[in-house]
Amino acid sequence: MANQGENNIRLGAFVLAGLLALIFTLYMIGENRSLFGSNFELRARFANINGLIEGNNVLFSGIQAGTVKQIKILNDTSIEVVMRIDNKIRPFIHKNARASIGTQGLMGDKIINIVPGKGALSLIEDNDLIETKKISSTDEILETLSKTSNNIADISESLKNAVQQFDKSAAWSLLNNKTLKNNIESTLKNIEQTSISTREMTQGLNDLVSRIKQGKGNAGLLLKDSTLATNLNEAVSKIRQASDNANQVTVQMNKMVSELNGDLHKGKGVVKLLLNDSVTAKNLSISMENIKKGTDGFNQNMEALKHNFLLRGYFKNLEKQKQKKADTVRKK
């Protein structure tokens, strides 16, 4: 009898220990599911809950905040989810918070994620309805990836066909032509050299214009010095007078030669004497030759002055005046 009583005590202690373990386990499960702690309720409405069931977890900013208490179908486009939230999280949830349906891991259970909104509004109240946002489900992502994969395959096939056609085209042969490549490189070098020369020439012109503006050089001195311009006009005027005098001398010489030819044919005057005197004739011939050379030299000097860049404008204006006078006489 003593042994029977001892066994009953041991059996009772074992059963009691098992019962306490079961109660502790239920308490821990209930604590995790917010069954025993103080809590409040929130509501959210979705068009598609993507397999969410009652008892799934609710997270706030990634922290365990509660569980899904109830799921109700309101109509064909709206499903209301009632969430049981721990009161310890309540001071951190504002009315602009938003809820979305996600997944724990890649293939885990469905959960509800609550994230804070922007700005500081009043705190949430019991049984409030919070806003929701749609998150792409795994099926939608896989469907999008499938479409993207098909599009990439089509693009790859099109690129393959384009490359094959281009490989057979004349343009590819032209690109592989080494002679053409060398010619293009030579042309580019010539263009580069031309660009350098053009830049140097432009710089030189800029320097020249700058020096002219500063009154340096002959052109700058001419543009800046009014006295020099006056002297130049006087020199041109004297050259014109010399040219007129030379023309008069030439006319007089022609007249004299004509008279001498008349006397020669008639055999009278001093001409006959000069012709009969060989010494005099020789001296006269030398003098005429010197006069001719002097006249040619003067004409060359005048021609050079006409082409000089300082006097070129003056002679052009002189020619225009002569042409204008000639036109006036012709019209009369």
> Do β-strands 39-46 and 98-103 pair in parallel, antiparallel, or remain unpaired?
unpaired
Given the DSSP bridges, would you call strands 110-115 and 39-46 parallel, antiparallel or unpaired?
unpaired
46, 56, 77 from 52: Cα distances, Å = 11, 7, 16
Q: What is the pLDDT of residue 81?
A: 94
Q: What is the three-class DSSP state of 75?
A: strand
- Picking from 93, 101, 98, the residue whose alpha carbon sits closest to that of residue 131 is 98
User: Is the distance from CB of 67 to CB of 84 less than 8 angstroms?
Assistant: yes
What's residue 274's pLDDT? 53
Q: For residues 136 and 50, is the Cβ–Cβ distance under 8 A?
A: no
Determine the pLDDT at residue 56.
93
Q: What was the pLDDT predicted at 217?
A: 59
Give the pLDDT score at 227. Answer: 65
Q: What is the pLDDT of residue 301?
A: 67
For residues 137 and 50, the answer to whether their CB atoms sit within 8 Å is yes
Strands in the chain per DSSP E: 39-46, 57-60, 63-75, 78-86, 98-103, 110-115, 128-132
Averages of pLDDT over runs of 10 residues in the chain (332 residues) are 71 82 69 61 91 91 91 92 92 91 81 87 89 74 79 83 70 64 77 80 75 62 59 68 69 69 59 57 70 70 66 72 80 68
Domain ranges of the chain: 1-32, 38-135, 138-174, 177-220, 225-331
